[in-house]
A and B are shown apart, each in its own frame.
Chain A
C-alpha cells in the first residue's frame, strides 16, 4: 500500500500583524514549521503503514526552504519525499496550489491513499484537499475522526458530520483529510533524524508539470485576488454596565440577540 501525505510549511506563529502603512503582512521572525494539522495526517499514515504495511511518502509545495518539513517528516518515519518548487508557483491561491500539487503528485508516483490535514494555520481555508482530489479524479472524504479498517482495495473510515458519524467505505485511490486528535502525533526520533538528514528528495519544477501553460500557475493562475489585508476590528471593547437588574438583564438580552446567540 502506498500512502502519500501532503504537508505545508507555515509561519511559526499565526500572530501576524499588518503593517499599517503598506498593508503588507509582518511576519514576526523567520521561523517556520510544519503545519500542525499535517502532523495528524502524517501520524495517521504511519499508523496505517505500521498496521497494514506499505510506505509513506511526503510532498510539499513551497519555497526551497520548505524542504525542512520533509526532513521533519523523515525523522518521524516517512520513507521518501518530494518538493515542488519554482518561482513561477509563487502567489498561488487554493486553485493554483491544488493544480500544481496534483501534477506534482502524478509525477511523484501512484498512491492508494493521499492524506491531508484538515486545514492550515495560515491560509486556513481547508480547501486544498478536496480540490486536489477533484483534479486527480479520485473520491475524497473529509473530517475523518477514525480509521476503522483497511481491506483489499478499500479503507473504512468514520466521517464526523454535524449530527452523526457516518461510517463509509471508499475505494483506492482516494484522498482523506483527518481531524485533529485522530491520533497523537509522535515526536521526531533522534536516530531517524541522524539517519535521514542527508537523504535525497525529488525536486519538481515547472518543467516537470504535465500542463505547460505558465498562466495556470502562481499568481496568474489564481482566480482569487487578495485586494487588501487589514487587522480585525477588535472586539476588545470594554463596557461597564450597571443599574437595576431589570435594566442590566435587558441590555444583556439585547446584546445576545444582536450577536445571534439567541434568535
Chain B
C-alpha cells in the first residue's frame, strides 16, 4: 500500500548495498535482457566491491533460478506462489517492496519490457525514489551514485541523470543495449527464499485468458529489414534474403518494381507509395536508392546498402556503402552467421 514518504534530503548511503536485477520472465522462461543486466550489475558491483542480487517472482520457478547463479548473481531471491503465476501489478509491487526493505540494495536494474516498464515505476513511487528510463550507458561512482545516460525527445538528445539523495536508485534498460555476459561453468551464489503474507497477494486484477500472438509479419514493426530491389533477378532468389532476415530476426521488404511484378505482397513495399519504416537495421540488396524509396526508410537507425554499382544513389543515404555483388556477399554472410565464427 502506498504511503507517501517524507522527503529525506540526505540518506546514509552506506546502509544501501549491492546492485539488484529484476528477473524478467514468462512462466519461468527468463528474458535474455535479464542476463545482460546481470552482466552490467556485476561490472558495476565490482567497482564498488558490493554484491549482485537477483529478484525472481513467479510460480514454480525455482528450478530456473539456478541458471541465474551462472551469470554472477551472489544471491537469487525467489518468491513463489500460485497467486504470482501471472504478472499482477499490485502483488508484484508488494513482493518487490518486501525485497527492497529486506535487502536494501543501492541500485536496481529492470529490463524495459512491457512488464518492467509498468512494475518499476510503481516500485519507485512507493519508495519515493528516482527512476531513469531506457538507460543506454550506466556507470557508478565511488560513493555508489549511479551515472545514467538516456535518450529523450525521440532520441534527438541525450541526458545524463543521477539520483544523488535517495535509495534505491532505479533504472530501466532495453533489451540488446548492454552486452550479454559469458555463462560461467560453475554457479557461484546461493538461492534465498522470500516469503510474503497472503494479504500482500491480494489483487484487483483478474487474468481471464492468455493468447499466444501470431508471429509479427508487418514490416513497419520489424527491428530488422532486408530489402529486395531489382538487383534480385529471380523470384526464387528471394529465399536467400528470407534466410538472412530469419537469422537476424527480421522481415523481408522490397522496392516497388518487385511488388509490381507480383513477387511480393504490396504490404511489403517500402517508400513513398508504400510503407514508412524505421527499423534498427535495414539492409538493402540490389536497390538503387530512388528518392521515392529513400523517403520511406531514411530514418532507419542503421542503413547497410549492398550494390555492385559504386555510383548507386543509395550509397549517399547508407551508413555502410557496400560495393559488392548481392549474389556473392549474401550467401557468404549467411554461412558466417550460421557457423557463428569468431570475429577476426
Contact = CB atoms under 8 A, between A and B. Distances in A.
Interface of A: 14-18, 25, 93-95, 98-99, 121-131, 133-143, 156, 159-171, 174, 211, 213, 215-216, 220-232, 235-243, 245-246, 248-250, 252-263
A226 B162 CA distance: 7
Interface in B299-344: 301-302, 304, 310, 315, 318-325, 328-330, 332-333, 335-337, 340-341, 343-344
Nearest to B304: A252
Contact of A254 (B133, B322, B344): B344
A239 B321 contact: yes
Interface in B209-245: 209-213, 224
Contact of B90 (A139, A215, A221): A139
Contact of B128 (A95, A140, A246): A95
Q: Which of B31, B126, B319, B322 has the most CB of A within 10 A?
A: B322
B223 to A, nearest CB: 8
Q: Which of B6, B117, B126, B180 has the most CB of A within 10 A?
A: B117
B26 A131 contact: no
B165 to A, nearest CB: 6
Interface stretch (B43-51, B149-157, B257-265): B149-157
Contact of A25 (B157, B247, B301, B322): B157
Contacts of A170: 204-206
Given A142-B118, A235-B302, A239-B321, A168 B160 contact: no
A220 B125 CA distance: 16
Contacts of B280: 261
A227 B154 CA distance: 19
- Which 5 interchain pairs have the tightest Cβ spacing? A245-B328, A223-B130, A224-B130, A249-B332, A125-B133
23 contacts: A14-B156, A94-B121, A95-B128, A127-B121, A131-B125, A135-B4, A164-B212, A166-B86, A166-B207, A167-B211, A168-B205, A171-B204, A221-B7, A223-B163, A224-B130, A227-B162, A237-B319, A238-B318, A241-B320, A252-B322, A253-B333, A259-B302, A260-B180
A167 to B, nearest CB: 5
B125 A130 contact: yes
Contacts, number: 260
B131 A94 contact: yes
B224 A261 contact: yes
A253 B301 CA distance: 18
Contacts of A241: 320-324
A15 to B, nearest CB: 6
B165 A227 contact: no
A136 B122 CA distance: 11
B206 A169 contact: yes
Given A122-B153, A239-B319, A248-B329, A225 B208 contact: no
B247 A124 contact: no
Contacts of B319: 235-239
A134 B122 contact: yes
Q: Which of B156, B224, B301 has the most CB of A within 10 A?
A: B156
Contacts of B196: none
B324 A245 contact: yes
Interface string B94-138: 000000000000000000011101111110111011111110000
A169 B6 CA distance: 34
Given A133-B122, A230-B157, A256 B164 contact: no
B201 interface: no
B162 A211 contact: no
B176 interface: yes
Contacts of A129: 121
A137 B2 contact: yes
B268 to A, nearest CB: 20
A57 B128 CA distance: 28
Given A162-B114, A252-B304, A141 B205 contact: yes
Nearest to B206: A169
Contacts of B210: 164-167
A229 B160 CA distance: 6
A229 B329 CA distance: 41
Contacts of A216: 4, 7
Contacts of B129: 95, 223
Interface string B1-21: 110101101000000000000
B213 A164 contact: yes
